[in-house]
A = this chain, B = another copy of it.
Amino acid sequence: LHEASVDQPDLTVRDVGEFGLIARLQADLETRLGLASNGAVPGLVLGIGDDAAIWEPTPGAQQVVTTDALVEDVHFRLGTTSWSDLGWKALAVNVSDIAAMGARPRHALVTLGLTPQTRLADLRELYRGLAELAERFDLSVIGGDVVSAPVFVLSVTVIGESNGPLLRRDAGRPGDLVAVTGALGASMGGLRLLEQGSSSSPEADRLRQAHLRPLPRVAEGQALVRAGLRCAMDLSDGLLGDTTRLCERSGVGALLEAERVPVDPALLAAFGGEARSIAIAGGEDYELLCAGPPAALDQARSALAALDTPLTVVGRLIERPAGDPAVRLVDALGQPFALAAGSWDHFRG
């Protein structure tokens, strides 16, 4: 495939057919990652090439599975996203869901919906980004499907496992503190910069990178479990929206203090006064949102410090408010905090 791509940069999916394509991409993955279809991956019994893949669960481990699809011109535009970034992100958002359970990712399935005009060279780039993420988080691609489609579609399933308790959205209790890992808003800031096509600076580069290549908090999720936490989810739709969902699943309400929300420093540098609103309302940060008793959160903060990841309390869970919205955003005096206009709807279109 490498030589073909170099010699025939315009070779398309139509030229090689479904089976030719699968064989080439598989060979590519194996070369890049040392992934063999049989035996080389711990626990993997049979990979790509049969009716189904087979793995041996670690004895006593619960298995965890999640799936997320990305559609061209709905979730990404090939004008602002490179193929390799797209491969990274499609896998990263699924790995983030596994991280948010406190589990370790093991295996991935990748389904591609391709137009006949899709170039092989671009798919190689896609698999390069995908393999970089897989390598970093030690997971392997064990199966998938390739179909024709009118636009590019990427549907990824990731399977993980855990021998301990897991983090759930429905385990929040009134009195729990609410905290987030890292700092928020960089991804939405990066998306705005990408859409504006604005110039280069270290801050702008960092924000764009945060949007294009999010880093799932895999070690952090497992550390939260070990610290005694039982309630978490990942931040994909923004702090306000995701806290609302956690509250709905747990049957509680929440008070979030806007001034406590950790704002990404590059976001502050690039967006100034609007940065806090972007951090609160923006999505796709793939940080972890968690809730638990103060003592467990203290333990978790120490554990995450060892990973160089801050854990910041941003509010607390309360009894479910009758009638009122589940989540209230307040300032330091307990008064409603007003978000900057436009920050809320950007992702929702």
Contacts and interface: CB of A to CB of B under 8 A. Distances in A.
A103 interface: yes
B149 A249 contact: no
Interface in A35-68: 45-46, 49-57, 59, 61-68
Chain A at the B interface: SS class = strand
Nearest to A169: B50
Contacts of A97: 51-52
Given A149-B71, A153-B149, A57 B63 contact: yes
A111 B56 CA distance: 25
A75 interface: yes
A147 interface: yes
Contacts of A68: 145
Nearest to A71: B149
A149 B147 contact: no
A141 to B, nearest CB: 12
Interface string A78-100: 00000000000000000011101
A233 interface: yes
A53 B144 CA distance: 19
Contact of A64 (B53, B65, B67, B111): B53
A109 B69 contact: no
A113 interface: yes
A71 B113 CA distance: 8
B100 A67 contact: no
B66 A53 contact: yes
A157 interface: yes
Contact of A65 (B69, B75, B142): B142
A170 interface: yes
A333 B217 CA distance: 66
Contacts of A168: 46, 50
A65 B153 contact: no
Contact of A62 (B56, B59, B149): B56
Contacts of A96: 51
A62 B59 CA distance: 11
Contacts of A143: 65-67
A308 to B, nearest CB: 24
A100 B51 contact: yes
A322 interface: no
Contact of A109 (B45, B59, B67, B149): B67
A51 B101 contact: yes
Contact of A153 (B54, B67, B113): B113
Contacts of A63: 54-57, 63, 159
A149 B72 CA distance: 8
B74 A62 contact: no
Nearest to A38: B170
18 contacts: A50-B233, A51-B100, A51-B233, A52-B66, A52-B100, A52-B160, A53-B64, A53-B66, A56-B63, A57-B61, A65-B109, A65-B159, A70-B147, A71-B113, A71-B150, A74-B149, A155-B155, A159-B159
